[in-house]
Structure 1
Amino acid sequence: MEGFETIEAGKLSENFIRLIGQEWMLVTAGESGRFNTMTASWGGIGYLWNKPVAFVFIRPQRYTFGFMEAQDGFTLSFLGENNREALNICGTLSGREVNKVEQAGLTPVFSASGQVAFAEARYIVECKKMYAGFLDPEAFLDPILIDKFYPEKDFHKMYIAEVVKVWKKK
């Protein structure tokens, strides 16, 4: 991708707890001409099943959910604080009703495999799904979490994906 260099996942030195939890990321699934993105502040990057992985959580009512279900992969775009307004737009508007990518002023870019990300990103992480499953209310050890985060019982689906490629802005 123009303007980016490929780096090994193991060479990522950023604090992803801060990046995801405070700066946020865009989770994008679909293909050229038909995709959606959403802002996320829950997830992580780590190592599982002898592979670098990313994990994200998406509620079933989100428009992006259908795209995640239909595709083998997705991307994570880390835009940084200087793109906070774009992250706010992508987190509050629905792609069902508006072209939020256009409203946010984002420029789609495409990996060799056809995954969609954004030129404004500092980092792009391309992922291939390995596991997906809904959070199980019976497995919560602290029921206060259900009351606090799932009063409507709309539990997230968790996706664990292999990190297949990482790009860093030049």
Structure 2
Amino acid sequence: MRLHLTDPQTVIRDLLPALGAENALLTAGTADRRNTMTIGWCQAGRLWGLPTCTVYVRPERYTYQFMEDQAYFTVSVLPADMKNAMALCGTKSGRDMDKIKECGLTVRTGAGEAPFFEEAELVLVCRTLYAQDLEAARVLPAGEADILPSYGAKGGWHRAYTGEIVEAYSARSS
């Protein structure tokens, strides 16, 4: 087992560069029934005095129902050499195939039985505290020209899920 429990603040520092490279997976469900998807939108920091992570999921995505049904979710950052797995998880639906099996990922579980992947370099295990839908009407005038023309082209507006980071794992040396 490569991954070991670590201080969430250590993992949060390394999260932002990973998201820019599109090699993070959001996973929700249980050890037996789950789905994962590639994400590029994620925020980590402190809210309500707690270490938190916010992820965003469109209602059309298969992962959405898992997020709605479960109290926990995970963000797993895969190594750069797993770009093929990231591409598959970002372009195929779990409704149509078992993406986890197809990618050869090994499922582990953390707090709340939240599934994540042994192959990850970094993992956040989060307990959902808050969820809210993003809305076109809430985009402020300063951002309208940048956001509104292209945002809805791929589907509905995302729901934001903010979770308390209850565990963090790292494959890096402490």
TM-score, reference length from structure 2: 0.91
For 2:144, the aligned partner's letter is P
Contact 1:30/1:74 (8 A) holds in 2? yes
Q: What stretches of structure 2 of length at least 5 have no aligned partner?
A: none
Q: What stretches of structure 1 of length at least 5 have no aligned partner?
A: none
Query: Cα–Cα, structure 1 residues 45 and 125, in superposed 2: closer, same or farther, change >3 Å?
Result: same
Contact 2:58/2:155 (8 A) holds in 1? no
1:37 positional shift: 0.4
Match of 2:152 in 1: 150
Query: Cα–Cα, structure 1 residues 52 and 112, in superposed 2: closer, same or farther, change >3 Å?
Result: closer
Indicate yes or no: 2:137 matched with 1:138: yes
In structure 2, distance between residues paired with 1:153 and 1:103 = 26
Match of 2:168 in 1: 166
Identity of aligned residues (%): 32
- RMSD (CA atoms): 1.5
Q: What SS does structure 1 have at the residue aligned with 2:63?
A: helix
1:43-100: CA deviation from partner (whole Å, max 9, x where unpaired): 1111111011101000000000000000001001000211111111111110000111
In structure 2, distance between residues paired with 1:126 and 1:59 = 20
1:112 positional shift: 4.9
Query: Cα–Cα, structure 1 residues 90 and 138, in superposed 2: closer, same or farther, change >3 Å?
Result: same
For 1:91, the aligned partner's letter is G
Q: Which has the higher helix share?
A: 2
Match of 1:70 in 2: 69
1:169 positional shift: 1.3
Contact 1:107/1:119 (8 A) holds in 2? yes
Paired residue total: 169
Match of 2:117 in 1: 118
Superposed, 1:104-115 pairs within 5 Å as 104-115=103-114
List, as ranges, runs of 4+ consecutive aligned residues in structure 1 with deviation greater than 6 Å.
none
Superposed, 1:40-79 pairs within 5 Å as 40-79=39-78
In structure 2, distance between residues paired with 1:11 and 1:24 = 18
Contact 1:20/1:44 (8 A) holds in 2? no
1:21 positional shift: 1.9
1:152 positional shift: 6.0
TM-score, reference length from structure 1: 0.93
1:110 positional shift: 1.5
1:18 positional shift: 1.6
Query: Cα–Cα, structure 1 residues 13 and 61, in superposed 2: closer, same or farther, change >3 Å?
Result: closer
For 1:169, the aligned partner's letter is A
In structure 2, distance between residues paired with 1:13 and 1:158 = 18
1:4-48: CA deviation from partner (whole Å, max 9, x where unpaired): 211111233644322112143100000021100000011111111
